[in-house]
């Protein structure tokens, strides 16, 4: 199969060479070029790499270049399409396309030719611009942006789509390129494109707006000033899943930069419509919807309050429960942000039954960054007051957090987040049954918090003292070795002072040996 394709290619190229040099009939040329395009598809990537070594496709590109100026329009279009396909697969080929000075030609003819050529030329620009910022910069430098923006005004929706896609790929790389795209006046035309009836065009325009506004607040403000938010908000109701994905992503890129932008997005009345996206069958719609809600919630307590009042927390919790993997991550982070703002919001999260999904997340997920996010969110929920800490501790998640902190295989980020969450919760936790299991395997820096909590609760609660003794906690505390004068020692002393001396001595290590020694030294009185 492999040799067959190579053989075919070689034959093909001989054929091409002959044809081009002897000016054969137009229909033959067309036929050959049309053959060339499917070949470029059927050749897989490995074959392509091999062929790169065998026959330089760069020579193919230089062969294709004069065809772009051919009289017959079909040949021009097919040549452009072939160039685009070649550039799409590999960035070396894309660089070769740039080096051969094909781009200025394409740009000049973009404004003059018919719509098929425009589509093919836009495809070439997109293919070149997708690989790296330098190639995109090269495209900008040869003045392609103005031509593409002119294409955006064309009547044919396919041309608009190609132009918008190319602009999106260029703007994706960094904020200078985005700024260049905005300076060429693309944003109002893109907003017009969004209003067009064709779904594919809407998708691409939304994704381009998303790529433009993701880099900086000024760019996002430019997009907002063109009036994009209202149209994007309307399109959330559209049944097409991919369109919803792009629209939600665009809105979240706008909202993430500042409080004002987030408030503008909220004022477009996306709640409670956005919550229906959390129940969509497509996973990426759920993820992007959760991302949007997260970006809004993280800015200020008022926005979080608004989201909670609209029932957003319940929707996000259900979404977390129903998904698996990275799709859950934005939802988890959203819960963390909401709970971090104030204790009332944190209580609202607890009341909406937010903690069980987070615990299952912590246990089930394989990726460390998701576990770290879940640990962080639990820490934010539990750190406010003893009530919150109790609610978190009751689910027995503290042991999991501790094991994650102690596990050598977990990443540094996970360990750090687990430790912080544990500390935050422990400093407020007065729920002793949850603290006791931790006494046995905690490292010293966690131990002091645990013992500290015990020392705060035990002096006042007699039942707890009894439970502490019977469960073996007092024994464990005696076994802890602490430096005299440290905080841990003080806590231990406080605990020991709660109990009568004999009990403390009974539980101290080595008591049985001491008793036996006394037995040995005892002189019986006859």
Partner 1 sequence: MAALVRLETRLSRLREEYFLKNRSVDEDRKIVYKAAVKIQSWFRGCRVRAYLRYLNKMAISIQKWWRGYQSRRYFRKMIKTAYFIMKMNFYNEMAVRIQKRWRGYYVRKYTHNYYALKKYLEAISLNNEIVRNELQEYAEMNEKKKKKKDLEKKEKEKKYKARKMHYLLSTEQIAGIYNSPFRKFPDPMELLLRQSKPLSHRQQQPKSPFTYDLYDWPTCKRPPAFPTGEPLPPIGRQKPQGPFRDAAEVLRQRYKPLEPTLRVAASISSPLEKAREEMKREEWRKCIHDNEFLPFSSYHKNEKYELSIHASEKIGKETYGIKHFREVQPNKWIAGKDFQTVLPSIVLFEKFGKTYSKAGQIV
**Nearest-angstrom CA–CA distance, 379 and 401:** 10
C-beta closer to partner 1: residue 57 or 116: 116
The CB-of-172 to partner 1 minimum distance in angstroms stands at: 17
Task: Find, among 89, 88, 78, the residue nearest to 32 by Cα.
Answer: 78
Contact with partner 1 (CB under 8 A) among 16, 61, 67, 78: 78
The CB-of-42 to partner 1 minimum distance in angstroms stands at: 9
Task: Find, among 130, 233, 255, 149, the residue nearest to 193 by Cα.
Answer: 149
In this structure, the chain runs to a length of 526
Q: What are the residues whose beta carbons fall under 8 Å from the beta carbon of 68, sequence distance 6 or more?
A: 76, 79, 80, 83, 102, 105, 106, 109
Phi, psi of 352 (to 5 degrees): -80, 15
Q: Which stretch binds partner 1 (CB under 8 A): 78-86, 137-145, 454-462, 509-517?
A: 78-86
Show contacts with partner 1 in window 389-448 (CB under 8 A): none
Show contacts with partner 1 in window 31-50 (CB under 8 A): 34, 37-38, 41
Distances (CA, A) of 486 to 151, 444, 491: 74, 12, 9
Contact with partner 1 (CB under 8 A) among 57, 88, 431, 507: 88
**Per-position x/- string for 298-327, each x denoting binding to partner 1 as judged by CB under 8 A, each - no binding:** ----------xxxx-xxx--x---------
Regarding 472 and contact with partner 1 (CB under 8 A), the answer is no
The CB-of-206 to partner 1 minimum distance in angstroms stands at: 13
C-beta closer to partner 1: residue 343 or 368: 343
Regarding 112 and contact with partner 1 (CB under 8 A), the answer is yes
* Sign of the alpha-carbon dihedral angle for 323, 329, 333, 334: negative
**Per-position x/- string for 8-27, each x denoting binding to partner 1 as judged by CB under 8 A, each - no binding:** -------------------x
Contact with partner 1 (CB under 8 A) among 276, 300, 471, 494: 276
The CB-of-239 to partner 1 minimum distance in angstroms stands at: 9
Q: What are the residues whose beta carbons fall under 8 Å from the beta carbon of 174, sequence distance 6 or more?
A: 133, 215
Residues 381 and 349 sit within 8 Å (Cβ to Cβ): yes
Residues 422 and 398 sit within 8 Å (Cβ to Cβ): yes
Regarding 81 and contact with partner 1 (CB under 8 A), the answer is yes
Residue 438 parent element (H or E): helix 432-441
Task: Find, among 230, 217, 288, 212, the residue nearest to 259 by Cα.
Answer: 217
Q: Where are the alpha helices (DSSP H) in 175-299?
A: 175-183, 186-194, 199-213, 217-225, 228-234, 241-255, 259-267, 273-277, 283-297
**Nearest-angstrom CA–CA distance, 24 and 22:** 6
The CB-of-150 to partner 1 minimum distance in angstroms stands at: 4
Contact with partner 1 (CB under 8 A) among 29, 203, 371, 417: 203
C-beta closer to partner 1: residue 63 or 347: 347
Regarding 280 and contact with partner 1 (CB under 8 A), the answer is yes
Total residues interacting with partner 1, rule: CB under 8 A: 48
C-beta closer to partner 1: residue 83 or 372: 83
Q: Which residues of 76-107 are buried (b: 16+ CB within 10 A; e: fewer)?
A: bbbbbbbbbbbbbbbbebbbbbbeeebbebbb
The CB-of-276 to partner 1 minimum distance in angstroms stands at: 5
Residues 406 and 443 sit within 8 Å (Cβ to Cβ): yes
Regarding 351 and contact with partner 1 (CB under 8 A), the answer is yes
**Per-position x/- string for 215-254, each x denoting binding to partner 1 as judged by CB under 8 A, each - no binding:** ----------------------------------------
The residue assigned the tokens 């795209």 is: 181
C-beta closer to partner 1: residue 206 or 477: 206
Q: How many CB atoms lie within 10 A of CB 478?
A: 19
Regarding 123 and contact with partner 1 (CB under 8 A), the answer is yes
Contact with partner 1 (CB under 8 A) among 101, 141, 153, 407: 153
Query: Which residues in this chain contact partner 1 in the complex, by CB under 8 A?
Result: 27, 30, 34, 37-38, 41, 74, 77-78, 81, 84-85, 88, 111-112, 116, 119, 123, 127, 150-151, 153-154, 158, 161-162, 200, 203, 272, 275-276, 278-281, 308-311, 313-315, 318, 344, 347-348, 351-352
């Amino acid at each position: 199969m492999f040799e067959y394709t190579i053989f075919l290619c070689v034959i093909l190229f001989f054929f091409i060479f002959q044809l081009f040099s002897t000016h054969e009939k137009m229909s033959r040329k067309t036929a050959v070029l049309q053959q060339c395009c499917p070949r470029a598809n059927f050749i897989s990537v490995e074959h392509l790499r091999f062929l790169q070594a065998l026959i330089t496709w760069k020579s193919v590109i230089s062969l294709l270049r004069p065809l772009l100026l051919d009289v017959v329009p079909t040949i021009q279009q097919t040549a452009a399409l072939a160039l685009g396909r070649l550039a799409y697969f590999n960035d070396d080929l894309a660089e070769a396309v740039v080096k051969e000075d094909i781009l200025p030609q394409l740009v000049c003819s973009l404004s003059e030719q018919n719509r098929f050529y425009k589509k093919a030329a836009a495809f070439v620009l997109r293919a070149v611009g997708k690989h790296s910022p330098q190639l995109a910069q090269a495209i900008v430098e040869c003045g392609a942006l103005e031509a593409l923006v002119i294409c955006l005004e064309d009547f044919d929706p396919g041309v608009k789509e190609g132009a918008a896609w190319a602009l999106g790929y260029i703007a994706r790389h960094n904020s200078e390129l985005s700024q260049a795209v905005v300076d060429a006046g693309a944003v109002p035309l893109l907003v017009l494109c969004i209003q067009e009836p064709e779904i594919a065009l809407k998708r691409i325009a939304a994704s381009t707006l998303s790529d433009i506004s993701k880099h900086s607040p000024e760019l996002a403000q430019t997009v907002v000033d063109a009036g994009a938010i209202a149209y994007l908000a309307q399109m959330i109701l559209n049944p097409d899943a991919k369109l919803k994905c792009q629209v939600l992503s665009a809105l979240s890129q706008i909202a993430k930069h500042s409080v004002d932008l987030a408030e503008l997005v909220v004022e477009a009345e996306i709640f409670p419509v956005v919550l229906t996206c959390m129940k969509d069958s497509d996973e990426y719609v759920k993820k992007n919807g959760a991302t949007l809600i997260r970006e809004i919630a993280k800015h200020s307590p008022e926005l979080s309050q608004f989201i909670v009042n609209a029932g957003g927390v319940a929707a996000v919790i259900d979404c977390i429960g129903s998904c698996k993997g990275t799709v859950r991550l934005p939802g988890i982070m959203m819960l963390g942000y909401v709970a971090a703002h104030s204790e009332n919001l944190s209580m609202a999260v607890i009341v909406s039954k937010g903690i069980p999904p987070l615990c299952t997340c912590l246990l089930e997920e394989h990726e460390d960054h998701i576990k770290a996010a879940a640990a962080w969110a639990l820490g934010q929920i539990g750190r406010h007051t003893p009530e919150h800490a109790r609610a978190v501790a009751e689910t027995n998640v503290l042991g999991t957090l501790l094991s994650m902190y102690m596990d050598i295989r977990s990443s540094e980020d996970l360990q750090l987040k687990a430790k912080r969450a544990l500390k935050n919760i422990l400093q407020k936790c007065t729920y002793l049954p949850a603290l006791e299991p931790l006494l046995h395997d905690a490292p010293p820096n966690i131990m002091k918090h645990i013992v500290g909590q015990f020392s705060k609760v035990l002096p006042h609660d007699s039942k707890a003292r009894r439970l502490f003794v019977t469960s073996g906690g007092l024994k464990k505390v005696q076994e802890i070795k602490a430096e005299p004068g440290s905080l841990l020692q003080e806590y231990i002393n406080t605990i020991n002072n709660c109990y009568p001396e004999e009990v403390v001595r009974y539980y101290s290590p080595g008591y049985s040996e001491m008793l036996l020694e006394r037995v040995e030294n005892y002189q019986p009185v006859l």
